[in-house]
Amino acid sequence: MENSRWDVDPARTRAEIDAFLNPLDRQFPMVSTEDIGRLAAKTLQQEWSGNRYLELEGPRRYSQLDAAATFSRLLSRPVRAETVPRAHWAAVFEKEGMAHTAPRIEMLDGFNSGWIEFERDGTENILGNRTLEEAFRDLLRT
């Protein structure tokens, strides 16, 4: 969820966020760093043998339209999600200061194509507690 830090300034200044996850209404698993830390601390205190596969996501899945609506509520103004054409992704990421854009682009392609998805079988699926609104509220404070 905190990856949306890049969206704070555009939401405030342009009333829009750049959307790389598509389609805009497709809900994707997102998780807050707070939930990740909480699960890591809890897991380190447990005992187990063999391999464990933990899949953590937030309390529900969110779309890019949900992200825009959340910014809209928190900023008390309409914010829309605008799809960034894939051909422009590298330039946008470089402008944000990313030196090596290929891994991020490959990850987004994996999410958008459905290739990256939770396995479910043989895993422990865990839902975090922190909502997108709570995470975005903190992002807007910084």
pTM of the model: 0.91
- Asked if the model's pLDDT at residue 120 lies above 80, the reply is no
- The CATH number corresponding to 2-87+119-141 among 3.40.250.10, 3.90.550.10, 2.60.40.3500, 3.40.50.720 equals 3.40.50.720
What whole-number distance in Å separates Cα of residue 89 and Cα of residue 104? Answer: 9
- Per-residue pLDDT, 97: 92
Q: Which amino acid is at 69?
A: A
What whole-number distance in Å separates Cα of residue 95 and Cα of residue 16? Answer: 17
In the three-class reduction of DSSP (H, G, I as helix; E, B as strand; rest coil), residue 17 is classed as strand
Q: Where are the domains of the chain?
A: 2-87+119-141
Residues with Cβ within 8 Å of residue 67, at least 6 apart in sequence: 4, 7, 17, 81, 132, 136
Q: Strand (E) positions, the chain?
A: 16-19, 54-57, 80-83, 124-127
Residues with Cβ within 8 Å of residue 125, at least 6 apart in sequence: 55, 57, 118
Residues 124 and 52: beta-carbon distance below 8 Å? yes
- Convert the pLDDT of each residue in 61-98 to its tens digit: 999 999 999 999 999 999 999 999 999 999 999 998 99
What whole-number distance in Å separates Cα of residue 129 and Cα of residue 132? Answer: 10
- Per-residue pLDDT, 28: 96
